[in-house]
Amino acid sequence: MAAHTPAASRRRWGSTAAGVLVLGVMLFPLYWMLNTALQPESGLLQVDPVPGSLDLSGFSKAFGDQGGHLLTSLLVSFGAVAICLAVSAPAAYGLARFGLRGSRTIVFGTLITQMVPGIVIANALYNSYVDLGLVNSYFGLMLADASLGIPFSIVLMRSFMVSIPGEVIEAAEIDGAGPVRVFLRVVLPMSRNSLITSGLFAFLFSWSDFMFALTLNTTDDVKPITLGIYQYIGAHVGDWGAVMAASVLSAVPAAILLVLAQKYIAAGITGGSVK
């Protein structure tokens, strides 16, 4: 880095200041959420700009009530990510490499899936789920949530895998590796960034799902946090402090993942599509 003159350094810290300002504007609603959560007694209308004293009762209540639902959400989302990657990674490779007839149609099909409103899907799925005994099961919800990420992951990973040099794969084939081995040992490791990125997106889609959780369950056995929040936004009254605290809690696991995966995302998202 060449810029070490005082002027350049000042300019760089100026960028930091601007960045903080942008962040402040973008995160203000979240600050307001946290702020409300810390003033559970105030109702939502008399929230002070800064919490006077840290009242954590909203949090302890939310944690006590929603801890189990958070766990459910985690389990379902990780399951959905596993299914999503297991289905979409081979497909992405197949579409990128094999030049199968109909590849183009399939890619177009993944695009079409993005057009169907979620409510239409949830409605249609319900009856099939009943027939298959998947209602009220973790696995059923994982499958449905995985569907949210699959088309996106296929598109993302395919564009990445197209850019893997053919020589690498051919070299492995010469060594006697079959297509499955090539895929597992060569392609997947090289696609790490796009795998992580797809996984993260799949996780986020699944984490925020409300429609499937609502539609495909008829008992409270499998109740993720998005449904759990309804405990506070009832038909009769709203406990806003607890709602906000639960939302903050619900954002934490996803935020941790996001920060951990951050450095892979930039590299994983576009991969080959630019080249």
Partner 1 sequence: MTALPPVAAHRARGRSRGAATSFAAVSVLIAGAALTGCAQQRDSDVYTVMNSSTDETYHRWDAEAMARCGEQLGVRVEQQSVPASQVMTKALRMASSKSLPDIVQFDASEMPTFADAGGLVDLRSLGLATDDIPEGIVDFGSYKGTYYGAARSVNTLALFYNKDVLDEAGVPVPTTWDELRRTAKRLTEGNRYGLALSAGGAEDGVFQFTPFMWSNGGDETDLDSPRVVEALDYWKALLQDGSLSKSTVNWTQADVNDQFMAGNAAMMINGPWQVETLNTKKSLHWEIAQIPVPEAGADSVGPLGGAVLTVPRTGDTEREKTAGRIVACLASEKEQLTYALNSWMVPANEKAAAKWREEVPELDALADQVAAARSRTAKLGAGWSGVSLALQSAFQSALTGQSSETALQRAQQRATSGN
Partner 2 sequence: MTTSTVTAPAPAKTSGKGAAPDPARQRLRRRLAQWGFVAPAVVFMLLFFGYPLVRNIVMSFQHYTPKTFFTGEAPFNGADNWSSVFQDALFGKALWHTLVFTAGSLLGQFCIGLALAVFFNRRFPLGGVLRSLILLPWLVPMVVSGIVWRRILDQDTGVLNTFLDTLGLGGQTPWLTSPDMALLSVILVNIWIGIPFNMVILYGGLQEIPKELYEAASLDGASGWRTFRSVTLPMLKPVITVVLVLGFMSTVKILDLILALTDGGPADATQTLGTLTYQNSFVELDFGAGAVVGNVLILISAVFAVFYLRANRTEGK
Ranges within 195-214 binding partner 1 (CB under 8 A): 214
Q: Residue 134: which of partner 1, partner 2, none does it interact with, CB under 5 to 8 A by kind?
A: partner 1
Q: Which of 132, 252, 256, 266 binds partner 1 (CB under 8 A)?
A: 132
Quote the least distance from Cβ 251 to partner 1, whole Å. Answer: 21
Based on the shown chain and the rule CB under 8 A, indicate whether residue 262 belongs to the binding site for partner 1: no
Contact between 110 and partner 1 per CB under 8 A? no
Q: Which of the residues 183 through 202 are near partner 2 (CB under 8 A)?
A: 183
Binding flag, residue 184, partner 1 (CB under 8 A): yes
Shortest distance in whole angstroms from residue 12 CB to partner 2: 4
Residue 43 contacts partner 1 per CB under 8 A: yes
| Tokens 């007839």, located at residue | 101
Q: Which does 270 bind (CB under 5 to 8 A by kind): partner 2, partner 1, none?
A: partner 2
Does 162 interact with partner 2 (rule: CB under 8 A)? no
Contact 252, 48 (CB under 8 A): no
Nearer to partner 2, 13 or 139 (CB): 13
Residue 79 binding partner per list partner 1, partner 2, none, with a CB distance cut-off of 5 to 8 Å that depends on partner kind? partner 1
Choice from 80, 125, 135, 142 touching partner 2 (CB under 8 A): 125
Instruction: Provide DSSP, the chain.
Output: ----SHHHHHHHHHHHHHHHHHHHHHHHHHHHHHHHHT-GGGTTTS--SS-SS--THHHHHHHHHHHHHHHHHHHHHHHHHHHHHHHHHHHHHHHHHS--TTHHHHHHHHHHHTTS-HHHHHHHHHHHHHHHT-TT-HHHHHHHHHHHHHHHHHHHHHHHHTTS-HHHHHHHHHTT--HHHHIIIIIHHHTHHHHHHHHHHHHHHHHT--HHHHHS-SSSSS--HHHHGGGTB-SS-B-HHHHHHHHHHHHHHHHHHHHHHHHHHHHHHHGGGG-
Which residue among 91, 118, 121, 230 contacts partner 1 (CB under 8 A)? 230
Within residues 228-257, the interface with partner 2 by CB under 8 A covers 229, 233, 240, 243-244, 247, 250-251, 254-255
φ, ψ for residue 35, nearest 5 deg: -60, -45
Q: According to the binding rule CB under 8 A, does residue 79 interact with partner 1?
A: yes
| CA dihedral for 123, 125, 131, 134, sign (positive or negative) | negative
Which one of partner 2, partner 1, none interacts with residue 168, CB within 5 to 8 A by kind? partner 1
Strand-pair partners of 150:
none
Interface with partner 1 by CB under 8 A: which residues? 43-46, 65, 79, 82-83, 85-86, 123, 126-127, 130-137, 139-140, 142, 163-165, 167-168, 181, 184-186, 188-190, 192, 214-215, 218-220, 230-239
